[in-house]
Amino acid sequence: MYPLQESDPTNIGRYRIIGRLGSGGMGSVYLGRTPGGRPAAVKVVNAHLQGDPAALHRFRREVETLGTIRNAFTAALIDAEVNTPPFWMATEYVPGPTLADAVEMSGPFPVDLGRAVLAALAEGLADVHVHGVLHRDIKPQNVILSATGPQLIDFGIARSEAMSNITQVGTAIGTPGFIAPESITGGEAGPASDVFALGVTMAYCLTGRAPYGQGSLATVSYRTVHEEMDLDGIPAEMAELITACAHKDPARRPEPQRIVEFCETETDIVRHPAYQRIIAMAPSVDTATAPPAVSPTPTAPDMAPRPGVALLEAALLEAPATVAAVPTRLMPLPAQTEPVVTPVRGTGSAWFRRTPFIVIGAVAAVGVAAAAVVAVVALQGSGSTASAKDPRASASRDGSHRGAGDAPAGKTPTTPEPLPQSLTVQARRTLEAGEFLQAAHVKLVMQKDGNLVSYDENGRSLWSSLTVGENYKAVFQEDNNLVVYTADNTPVWATNTGSAEGGAVLELRADGDIAITKDGQELFRTSRTG
């Protein structure tokens, strides 16, 4: 759990806010407590989306969806405000690690425990489908291992079966590596698509590896459509069941209830020794304590690194991410400019831990060597937080740079040119960790802790993406999107301003705001949080 920052609320509705559980492109999730002491996960829509009709429509749909489902396998909706800003909802607080965290923490699950987890999740999925709802983003980080058993979380992109084909033609919604082939090639989604994602999730649970490997979004999508999963090391009987769940033909996948029957498990999952060890290893959160001290507003361009991601992630982080929903079009690049993917460290896959859902182009022509390339754009940055000279000067990766007013060694320095009142940045532009863009009254910094932050001329924070991680970078893309990527090129936050036509510019304004505009029309603008 993260400590509260100065910009965080202390109360939402009747809930006293204790700490931050997570954040993403759609909003932030806090640990709250009612006056009577009941804990809850309180999700609040981000300030810059409070007036966005599309974002609010999705948020209201999520509230409506959760309101129709009440079972032992999902966190129930408790309360919500969908008519008056700030918009928020509260769900049951489900303590426990995610499945992704558990695998990274303790390694692949033993087969009997994996079978029990699969049966429990299939039973929950069957109940969700009975209510006419598709989850559409089942993955290891959307499964909480609670003291009472596994639970599905994050219904941020869930829809009723009647709405399943409303997705824009040519796009697939979900998390790469877990999106069913029919969704990638035709944008179609149904109950069988959830079964596919469940099978892939179980493959990860039993191997600790990304079932379709690492790589660009296009590469993973190509493998999903044309290749089989990595099931090495899984006993034949279990591998056969997982293969059936992930069959390329959705009509040949078993229904969730049939999966429960195939598992034939008599394991009491919460009493399984390995399950109990996983629960015991997860750090606890004392919801009875007073809120932690509010973090002061940073006064220097480098904020102190925030705590690492807690093993407890509440139901938010939509696209991605999930997250963080991070619905973003990622424009294709020439092959020679595609960045190198950083290998994932550790036994488990950090790639799974905070991956949001992503809207990716349909790979209908995926047979032509991943023709629908959705590569990350790698660009040169403008500066480094080592110093703040003319933003037009280019920085080296070690943080050294020389602005227009700097003099060579042995020469008398000249007076530096004043910073411009505003700065207009064309795509493509990348800010690696520690690099920045700067105008007279605002500085946009991609911090080394993974947070993209704007500061005023006095070093006070104005706005941030609320992302955290090592070697993150921010990319202003040719498709009009400003995106924060992890070290392995997974998007975790975006402005959601994507357009196939492109042509937008990124503006650092004299009033301290950051904006994305096209032909004078404002597509995105920061709101001050400091």
Task: Summarize pLDDT for 441-500 with one digit per residue, the tens.
Answer: 999 999 998 999 999 888 888 888 888 888 999 999 998 889 899 988 888 888 878 777
Q: Is the pLDDT assigned to residue 428 strictly greater than 70?
A: yes
For a pLDDT cut of 70, what percent of the chain falls above it? 69
Contact in structure between 173 and 136 (CB atoms under 8 Å): yes
Looking at residue 133, its pLDDT comes to: 79
Contacts of 442 (CB under 8 A, 6+ apart): 454, 455, 456, 457, 462, 508, 509, 512, 513, 514
Average pLDDT over residues 189-200: 92
| CA atoms of 120 and 292, how far apart (whole Å) | 36
Give the model confidence (pLDDT) of 222-233 as tens digits.
999 999 999 999
Active site residues: 137
Higher pLDDT, 402 or 507: 507
| CA atoms of 525 and 519, how far apart (whole Å) | 15
Check residue 89 and report its DSSP letter.
Answer: E
For a pLDDT cut of 90, what percent of the chain falls above it? 34
Contacts of 145 (CB under 8 A, 6+ apart): 96, 97, 98, 99, 102, 117, 275, 278, 279, 282
Number of other CB atoms surrounding residue 6 within 10 Å? 12
Tally the C-alpha atoms within 13 A of residue 466's C-alpha that lie toward its C-beta: 28
Q: Is the pLDDT assigned to residue 212 strictly greater than 80?
A: yes
Q: Is the pLDDT assigned to residue 314 strictly greater than 60?
A: no
Domains of the chain: 11-93 (3.30.200.20), 94-285+310-375 (1.10.510.10), 423-525 (2.90.10.10)
